[in-house]
Structure 1
Amino acid sequence: MPEKSPSKHYTLQEHEFMAHAIQLAKKGTYTTSPNPNVGCVIVKNNKIISQGWHKKAGSGHAEVNALADVSVEDSLGATAYVTLEPCSHYGRTPPCALRLIEAKVATVFVAMLDPNPQVAGNGIAILKGAGIEVHVGLLEADARALNYGFFSRMEKNKPFVRVKLASSLDGKTALSNGESKWITGPSARADVQKYRAASCAILTTAQTVLVDNARLNVREEQLEFMYPYNGVVTQIRQPIKVILDGHNRIKRSTIDELDLFNIDLDSNSADTPGIVIIKSNTGLSEFQKEFKDRGDIRIIGANYDQQSGFDIAQVLAICSSLQINNLWVEAGGKLAGSFIVSNLFDELIVYVAPKLMGIGGMDLVPFGPLENMSQTKSLNLLDCRVVGEDIRLTYSPKV
């Protein structure tokens, strides 16, 4: 794999052009899954002559969109600024490296190499083989931040995992009778919709689905931003629903009764199920038969223990195999505790409401009991901010 260009001294203008490409890439935050967000700027005579970004999986990549309305005469000798290494393989679209060669650009600035094994330096090699000057590494950290989930899946075989919890000021998630609606206010609930919209999948449990009648969808009326509709993206990309069901409680009739399947597959990528139900390997074949004619629902078996529950690492590997980049975990404290104790989360997001729920309420993360302070889980505080009447705390693991 080629290295980045450590000896290249980037000018202020080169920084500005790549920064603009990065801003373009951000436009795909809610729509490109499972593909990465990528932006591209075409520059000639120190002026931007065209630009583009990847809008949706299966549609044109950033380079293709940037060059769509540019003649070869105009792009001859131009410079391209791309936030991720141009692809070199035929997928649902042709290789972008070849498109840049066809456009006869002279120079390509690439923010970072693509960790996808199908690319992994091949795009750079193709460009250089065609005589194009290539520089790698301009604003690499900014480019990496665009696609933390994609890179996690490619480099670690696991999605970027956000675990969400909501509690009262005294650390309770429900009253002793199980009532929990609503702990947080409307602003916090709207904030959750933003995270759901940016996620490839929402992971929950059969218990949460059945008790809370959880639909696990993005509710446009609660979004506090204009969803990025355009000529390619015409509807909200709903996240896949991944349900852990260790006791085989989710039946075919359950999904229909709860109206759980509220997703239009056209808004997602090809061959992507709307619902994934992860069940114990025991008796799995019978449940798979029940759903055999439902291509929108996939039943997958995993290791399950009556005491410890599902093997979280295996669950994440399953999610990775389904091309899930960003996973939003929204369930009870027990599942959240499994992620936290095993250090298999990337961010823990806790909404704290200005309420006191008193003795007997359900604990935020019910793990333990612990015998000494060395057994406690320490976290790094990444962010703290007011969301309406509540506070949102964001943590990462301390390892």
Structure 2
Amino acid sequence: MADQADIAAMHRAVELAARGLGSTSPNPVVGCVILDASGRLVGEGYHQRAGGPHAEIHALRAAGDRARGGTAYVTLEPCNHTGRTGPCAQALVEAGVARVQHAVADPNPQATGGADTLRAAGVSVGRGLLAEEAEAGNIAWLTSVRRGRPFVRWKYAATLDGRIAAADTTSRWITGPESRADVHRLRAEADAVIVGSGTARTDDPHLAARDIEGAVQPLRVVVDTGATAVRPGARILDDTAATLVAVAEDADLSAAGHLKDVVRLPRAARGLSVPALLAVLHERGVRSVLLEGGPTLAGSFVAAGAVDQVVGYLAPVLLGAGPHALGEAGITTIGDALRLRMTESVRVGADLRITATPADATEPHATTARPTAAHATTDHATKEI
């Protein structure tokens, strides 16, 4: 059974892992803490960027010879393969670590097996310490590996009666400045931000992460079936970040010479295939998506079973009329309702941020707060929060 020192060390490793959110894709976020043989902290580290040293290597470098006979606490099973960096399991063995505790097993078939390598070398291995917390912090990458597509977080802002705009379409600002700043944090943690043509046409959004120090800008994606929404000079076409425009296979691109990166996707019942879009993004190394935009686009992803997490910002405001947050999602009876499991509720300024995951998800999802339809369609316009 883990003692308080074990728990404290792994908790610190989870905190360290969170520092890599938004900068390690397509790799996971990982934290590592090393205690020497007497239980003193001698090294810690986290995976800082894709292609750079893994968390274990940073921690081992800090610990030096003091790691010999000690214990390593890692949020994810140490890798067992050589890619752009060497296998961390072997590095731990060579450092003379006597014991390794990892929170979550590595589901990646190319990297798994680190625990077996450690055991074969005589290292004592434990698994599952603070697994729930480590899973929550790394849920985007874990979901992408388990499902073979990017993790999708749907974000929306609404009044208490579920309206995202007034009857005359005005919506700036439903939520307060604190919530709007929090959305930029979500953007900075995502590999891609997706909106539909309605938002692109009406709001001319920028979709970059602002005021986040060191942020790696996400890929900006517009679902524009007819290739008519992203006009020359649109803010989304500036050089702040890359932009991908998804259009129908038969879309006329004769007037779209201003679009630098276009992908053609098959049509679905209403718009473009959501699975096809996510497959393209996954092939490009996108492991996490922030779904923004309007209710129609959100409904398409919900109908496709492609929403892994919902983050709703609810403002203490009532409108009584206007568009709802979620459009047609293929749900016609209460028995088919998508039931969600609330994992977090927290005040953000004057607003309430609620995080929830599908209750019937087949894979484990976040159950605690982090440290700190088969088609995509043209969505109704909705202002950025």
Matched position secondary structure for 1:173: coil
Q: CA deviation at 1:380?
A: 3.9
- Return the match for 1:322 from 284, 304, 325: 284
- Return the match for 1:212 from 159, 183, 203: 203
Checking the alignment, whether the CA contact within 8 Å between 1:279 and 1:300 is kept in structure 2 is yes
Q: Deviations over 1:72-131 (max 9, x none)?
A: x4333232221111122222222212222222222222222111111122x223323333
- Return the match for 1:301 from 259, 264, 270: 264
Amino acid at match of 2:118: L
Aligned to 2:12: 20
Checking the alignment, whether the CA contact within 8 Å between 2:34 and 2:63 is kept in structure 1 is no
- The percentage of counterpart residues that share the same residue type is 34
> 5+ unaligned residues in a row in structure 1: which ranges?
1-8, 228-234, 265-273
Q: Does 1:101 align with 2:93?
A: yes
Q: 1:41 to 1:277 in 2, by over 3 A?
A: same
Q: Does 1:247 align with 2:226?
A: yes
Q: CA deviation at 1:303?
A: 1.9
Matched position secondary structure for 1:88: coil
- Return the match for 1:80 from 72, 77, 87: 72
Aligned to 1:282: 250
Report matched runs for 1:58-77 at 5 Å: 58-71=51-64, 73-77=65-69
Q: Deviations over 1:282-330 (max 9, x none)?
A: 2589899976xx6xx4x3332213x522222332333333332321110
Aligned to 2:303: 341
Aligned to 2:47: 54
Q: CA deviation at 1:331?
A: 0.4
Q: TM-score scaled to structure 2, two decimals?
A: 0.82
Q: CA deviation at 1:334?
A: 0.6
Checking the alignment, whether the CA contact within 8 Å between 2:150 and 2:282 is kept in structure 1 is yes
Checking the alignment, whether the CA contact within 8 Å between 2:296 and 2:326 is kept in structure 1 is yes
Partner Cα distance (1:239, 1:385) in 2: 25
Q: Deviations over 1:122-157 (max 9, x none)?
A: x22332333333222222222212211111011112
Aligned to 1:396: 357
Q: 1:278 to 1:46 in 2, by over 3 A?
A: same
Partner Cα distance (1:147, 1:345) in 2: 17
Partner Cα distance (1:288, 1:96) in 2: 47
Aligned to 2:128: 137
Partner Cα distance (2:332, 2:103) in 1: 49
Partner Cα distance (2:331, 2:94) in 1: 64
> 5+ unaligned residues in a row in structure 2: which ranges?
361-385
Partner Cα distance (2:99, 2:112) in 1: 19
Amino acid at match of 1:258: R
- Return the match for 1:313 from 275, 291, 303: 275
Checking the alignment, whether the CA contact within 8 Å between 1:26 and 1:37 is kept in structure 2 is yes
Q: CA deviation at 1:369?
A: 10
Q: CA deviation at 1:332?
A: 0.7
Checking the alignment, whether the CA contact within 8 Å between 2:303 and 2:330 is kept in structure 1 is no
Amino acid at match of 1:333: P
Q: TM-score scaled to structure 1, two decimals?
A: 0.80
Aligned to 1:261: 238
Q: CA deviation at 1:186?
A: 1.6
Q: CA RMSD in A?
A: 2.9
Partner Cα distance (1:278, 1:131) in 2: 52
Checking the alignment, whether the CA contact within 8 Å between 1:25 and 1:83 is kept in structure 2 is yes
Checking the alignment, whether the CA contact within 8 Å between 1:341 and 1:377 is kept in structure 2 is no
Partner Cα distance (1:159, 1:31) in 2: 16
Aligned to 2:373: none
Checking the alignment, whether the CA contact within 8 Å between 1:203 and 1:329 is kept in structure 2 is yes
Partner Cα distance (1:21, 1:349) in 2: 25
Checking the alignment, whether the CA contact within 8 Å between 1:217 and 1:262 is kept in structure 2 is no
Checking the alignment, whether the CA contact within 8 Å between 2:192 and 2:286 is kept in structure 1 is yes
Partner Cα distance (1:68, 1:370) in 2: 54
State the number of aligned residues.
359
Q: Return 50-59 or 340-349, whichever deviates more.
A: 340-349
Q: Does 1:387 align with 2:348?
A: yes
Aligned to 1:158: 149
Checking the alignment, whether the CA contact within 8 Å between 1:209 and 1:215 is kept in structure 2 is no
Q: Deviations over 1:340-371 (max 9, x none)?
A: 33432122223233444455x33332328987
- Return the match for 1:89 from 71, 81, 90: 81
Amino acid at match of 2:187: R
Amino acid at match of 1:242: V
Amino acid at match of 1:238: Q
Q: 1:84 to 1:376 in 2, by over 3 A?
A: closer
